[in-house]
């Protein structure tokens, strides 16, 4: 019988001097969690690891005071699958959410998502499989270890001009990406137009996404749409407030090319509302829900059900966040790809050391669990917490 012995959390800085249209990252933190089990695989104790995605802060208070104690206080048999030989992520999720009212998700969804990541890592390690293979098996799907990734960057920072922006984009192309993203909305519309034109000239046939980080009111969002629609952009991301579905729906009248949003919707109910009321178009738009901010993979599977029920393909989901958890979901459940931040949020984001990007595709290595052990700088930080 598997037993969870301990759940540890530490809040770490991932500060940098970048900013998008809404926030700067100079005080950004992250929660790292280790779930220590009594089970041994390949001569090593199984420890599951998780962390929250960038953009929301560490959740040490909620994790230590509320969600980890509920798991540790539960009868350990109640956290296992029928056979008793592995953890049951859904049962653990239900245990964490005991005595939580519906709605008003706040940032508890980040705390739960962080623990959920560690639970799935441990579960796949105990099963002796990469998470993407375990997921595909559970859903009766054929896994595809090749995943599309694009390079997100193009932030504003002090003293950075158009030349530096273009050099940054060129460095992503040099590292194998053929799709890149820059921020907009943190400068005037004329400055942003110049940035976009300069980057398009530099990247040639590669694809460009632009991201406003929810900054615009309707009038500004439309003004940008009228400017942006003259360029062959891959997508126009998060124009207005994440919960302003009417703005998103109205914008579609002014922007015929693909749009993307969803990284700040934290439950399957919120995702379903976007699909019901946001005017998103299933033949061209993209959905960016990030499991590590929105109650984890147990909830993300419900979100995918809502996506399918609304007539969308999972291929239109390209999650925010750039972590290996979403890479596993993409490879296992047939998503359209994943975000990646080649130069930011290290050591948490990115790929195992052996992985190379070619034509904006990576191939998942066959590592048990989520694959954190294959990324040496990340695993060094994780081991510090567990040992």
In the bound state with Mg ion, the residue whose beta carbon lies nearer, of 125 and 181, is: 181
Total residues belonging to the chain: 387
Q: Least separation, in Å, of the C-beta of 59 and Mg ion?
A: 20
Contacts 24+ apart (CB under 8 A), 170-173: 170/202, 170/203, 171/342, 171/343, 172/342, 173/203, 173/206
Residue 64 has φ and ψ, to the nearest 5°, of: -75, -35
CA distance 365 to 374: 9
Q: Least separation, in Å, of the C-beta of 172 and Mg ion?
A: 16
- Could you tell me which stretch among 81-89, 92-100, 205-213, 358-366 binds Mg ion (CB under 5 A)? 205-213
DSSP reduced 3-state for 333? helix
- Could you tell me which stretch among 155-163, 204-212, 271-279, 293-301 binds Mg ion (CB under 5 A)? 204-212
Query: Which residue in the list 105, 129, 181, 320 is annotated as catalytic?
Result: 320
Binding string to Mg ion for residues 18 to 37, with x set by CB under 5 A, is what?
A: --------------------
In the bound state with Mg ion, the residue whose beta carbon lies nearer, of 211 and 373, is: 211
CA angle 329, 60, 299 (to 5 degrees): 30
Residue 102 has φ and ψ, to the nearest 5°, of: -70, 160
In the bound state with Mg ion, the residue whose beta carbon lies nearer, of 67 and 286, is: 286
CA distance 265 to 241: 11
In the bound state with Mg ion, the residue whose beta carbon lies nearer, of 259 and 364, is: 259
Residue 320 is a catalytic residue: yes
Cα–Cα distances in angstroms (integers) from residue 239 to residues 187, 228, 280, in the given order: 14, 12, 13
Residue 205 is a catalytic residue: no
Applying CB under 5 A, does 211 fall inside the site for Mg ion? Answer: yes
- Could you tell me which stretch among 208-216, 291-299, 363-371, 373-381 binds Mg ion (CB under 5 A)? 208-216
Q: Least separation, in Å, of the C-beta of 91 and Mg ion?
A: 33
Q: Least separation, in Å, of the C-beta of 361 and Mg ion?
A: 21
Q: Least separation, in Å, of the C-beta of 182 and Mg ion?
A: 11
- Could you tell me which stretch among 102-110, 156-164, 203-211, 264-272 binds Mg ion (CB under 5 A)? 203-211
Residue 170: asked if its preceding bond is cis (omega within 30°), the reply is: no
Q: Least separation, in Å, of the C-beta of 338 and Mg ion?
A: 13
C-alpha 117, offset from chain centre: 11
Give kind and range of the element (H or E) at residue 261: strand 259-261
Residue 12 pairs with which residues in a beta bridge? Answer: 30
DSSP reduced 3-state for 151? strand
Are 176 and 340 in contact by the 8 Å Cβ rule? The answer is no
Applying CB under 5 A, does 290 fall inside the site for Mg ion? Answer: no
In the bound state with Mg ion, the residue whose beta carbon lies nearer, of 211 and 299, is: 211
Instruction: Give the CB-side neighbour count of residue 315, counting CA atoms within 13 A.
Output: 5
Supply the DSSP string of 6-28, one letter for each residue.
EEEEEEEE---S-B-SS-B-TT-
In the bound state with Mg ion, the residue whose beta carbon lies nearer, of 211 and 285, is: 211
- Could you tell me which stretch among 2-10, 184-192, 206-214, 267-275 binds Mg ion (CB under 5 A)? 206-214
Residue number closest to Mg ion, CB atom: 211
Q: Which residue has the tokens 């949020």?
A: 345
Applying CB under 5 A, does 339 fall inside the site for Mg ion? Answer: no
Query: Which residue in the list 181, 183, 323, 375 is annotated as catalytic?
Result: 183
Binding site for Mg ion (CB under 5 A): 211
Catalytic residues: 183, 320
């Amino acid at each position: 019988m598997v037993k969870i012995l301990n759940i540890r959390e530490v809040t770490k800085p991932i500060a940098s001097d970048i900013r998008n249209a809404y926030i700067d990252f100079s005080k950004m933190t992250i929660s790292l969690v280790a779930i220590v089990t009594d089970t041994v695989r390949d001569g090593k104790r199984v420890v599951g690891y998780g962390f929250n995605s960038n953009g929301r802060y560490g959740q040490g208070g909620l994790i230590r005071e509320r969600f980890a104690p509920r798991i540790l206080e539960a009868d350990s048999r109640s956290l296992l699958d029928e056979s008793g030989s592995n953890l049951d992520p859904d049962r653990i999720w239900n245990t964490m959410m005991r005595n939580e009212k519906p709605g008003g998700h706040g940032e508890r969804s980040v705390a739960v998502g962080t623990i959920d990541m560690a639970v799935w890592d441990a579960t796949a390690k105990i099963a002796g499989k990469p998470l993407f293979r375990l997921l595909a098996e559970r859903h009766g799907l054929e896994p595809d270890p090749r995943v599309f990734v694009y390079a997100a960057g193009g932030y504003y920072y002090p003293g950075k001009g158009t030349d530096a922006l273009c050099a940054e984009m060129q460095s992503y192309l040099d590292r194998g990406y053929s799709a890149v993203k820059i921020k907009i909305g943190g400068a005037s519309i004329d400055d942003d137009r110049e940035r976009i034109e300069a980057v398009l000239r530099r990247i040639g046939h590669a694809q460009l996404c632009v991201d406003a980080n929810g900054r615009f009111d309707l009038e500004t969002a439309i003004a940008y749409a009228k400017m942006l629609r003259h360029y062959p952009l891959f997508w126009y991301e998060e124009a207005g407030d994440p919960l302003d579905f009417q703005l998103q729906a109205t914008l579609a009248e002014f922007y015929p090319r693909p749009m993307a949003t969803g990284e700040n919707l934290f439950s399957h109910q919120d995702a379903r509302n976007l699909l019901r009321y946001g005017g998103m178009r299933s033949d061209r738009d993209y959905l960016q829900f990030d499991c590590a901010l929105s109650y984890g993979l147990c909830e993300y599977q419900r979100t995918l059900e809502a996506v399918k029920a609304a007539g969308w393909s999972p291929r239109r989901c390209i999650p925010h966040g750039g972590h290996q958890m979403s890479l596993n979901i993409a490879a296992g459940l047939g998503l359209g790809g994943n975000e990646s931040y080649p130069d930011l949020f290290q050591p948490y984001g990115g790929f195992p050391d052996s992985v190379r990007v070619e034509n904006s595709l990576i191939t998942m290595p066959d590592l048990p669990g989520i694959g954190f052990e294959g990324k040496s700088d990340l695993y060094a930080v994780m081991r510090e917490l567990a040992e």
